Structure 1
Amino acid sequence: MPLPFLTADRAFDGETEDVVLPHHDRQRWRRPYRPGPWRVGLAALVLLLASFVLVAAMIIAATTSVTAAWIWFGLAVLMIAAALRGLRIGVWVSSAGLRHVAFLTTRTTPWARVGTLRVVQQPVRWMGLPRTVQGQGLVLEARSGRSAGAPADGPVVLLSTHGADFLNRPAAFDRASDTVEAWADEYRMVSAARRTAG
């Protein structure tokens, strides 16, 4: 008799780790790849520091000023929110479109507006910092929504080989890029079929 936790582990082994199963709900937003170890490790470190700040807030509240304790408690809440937001950064897909989540912004592009998605060799940001290095990036060029003949929006780098998810993981970057491109191809064909039928 197979045990459920073993079956769940086996589903994420090997080459099938980024595959979306056919019975999954495509209406829900999902990340078509696993978060990288650098992203998860950084979030865990921030959460660990936030726990120390919470303990300090409790000690300050018990011994000295309650006002100062509230300040430290607010700092801990900000650290926890930043760690959770950092875990959400990346590319998300659903039948509605493609969503690019950054630390402070979220940009959703419907599949009908997705112009081209291609992997480009270019300078990319190292771990999201201002420093750039030579690498590969999955670049989105969206069509403008103003009119059919309007020029495309500027290119946006969705994923890169030197981001927190794919640093030192080129095979994972290739799989993730291929998966996002496959979603785009599928839903662009659906959008084109709807336009011709309508």
Structure 2
Amino acid sequence: MPLPFLTADRAFETADDLALPFDDRDRWRRPYRPGPWRVGTAALLLLFASFVLFAAVVIALTASVSEAGVILGIALVVILGALRLLRMGVWVSARGLRHVGFVSTRTTAWERVVAVRTVQQPVRWLGLPRTVQGEALVLQRKDRAAQDASLLMTTHNADFVGRAGSFDRAADTIEAWAAENRRG
């Protein structure tokens, strides 16, 4: 079963001369693949969910069905959390830029974007409180001050820790989408 949210489009990696090599530019795309930390965490959550589902079956066969229903609900929440974890990231289309977080999604139309740029700054390592020096892709919007730029992704988040080249390619692609769509 293909999982389109798990794989990036191949055109992002093969088109060196075209920044926006798509016929259907209205479709939301993530210009990079999810990193090994994100995929590994989701895989562990799904493994845990399989054990919880097995426990729900055993409870349904030996105890009450209502208790099995509660355990089944817990397994479904874990599965939905793993799928949401895989969808997290920055998505682009001709309509705008979408930053998908675990709990919220923010979409910004290209008309409201002032700049998308890479900056050197202290960033969180894997989202933990510990900070390290790294690069971040930030979004500057028209309705906010310059110091209130939104952090989109960093070199040390779950997608790019240990993959600096992938961060550079993804940041360049997102910056190209921003430059092209602000002009048009």
Under a length normalisation based on structure 2, what TM-score does the superposition of the two structures give?
Answer: 0.87
1:183 aligns with 2:177: yes
Describe the superposition over 1:167-186 as per-residue Cα deviations: whole angstroms up to 9, x where unpaired.
Answer: 10000000000000000000
2:55 aligned partner: 56
1:16 aligns with 2:14: yes
Residues 97, 109 of structure 1: 8 Å contact kept: yes
What's the secondary structure of 1:104's corresponding residue?
coil
List alignment gaps of at least 5 residues for structure 2. Answer: 1-8
Residues 142, 153 of structure 1: 8 Å contact kept: no
Tell me how many residue pairs correspond in the alignment.
Answer: 175
**In 2, distance between residues paired with 1:98 and 1:130?**
26
Residues 19, 176 of structure 2: 8 Å contact kept: no
Bigger RCO of structures 1 and 2 (CA < 8 A, at least 6 apart): 2
After superposition, residues 139-178 of structure 1 pair within 5 angstroms as 139-144=138-143, 151=145, 154-178=148-172
Task: Pick the structure with greater CA Rg.
Answer: 1
Describe the superposition over 1:121-157 as per-residue Cα deviations: whole angstroms up to 9, x where unpaired.
Answer: 111121122332221100111111xxxxx85682111
1:39 aligned partner: 38
Instruction: Name segments (4+ residues, structure 1) moved above 6 Å.
Output: 17-21
Residues 95, 187 of structure 1: 8 Å contact kept: yes
151 and 133 in structure 1: CA distance in 2 versus 1, 3 angstrom threshold: closer
Under a length normalisation based on structure 1, what TM-score does the superposition of the two structures give?
Answer: 0.81
Residues 143, 153 of structure 1: 8 Å contact kept: no
What's the secondary structure of 2:148's corresponding residue?
coil
Q: What is the identity percentage for the equivalent residue pairs of Structure 1 and Structure 2?
A: 59
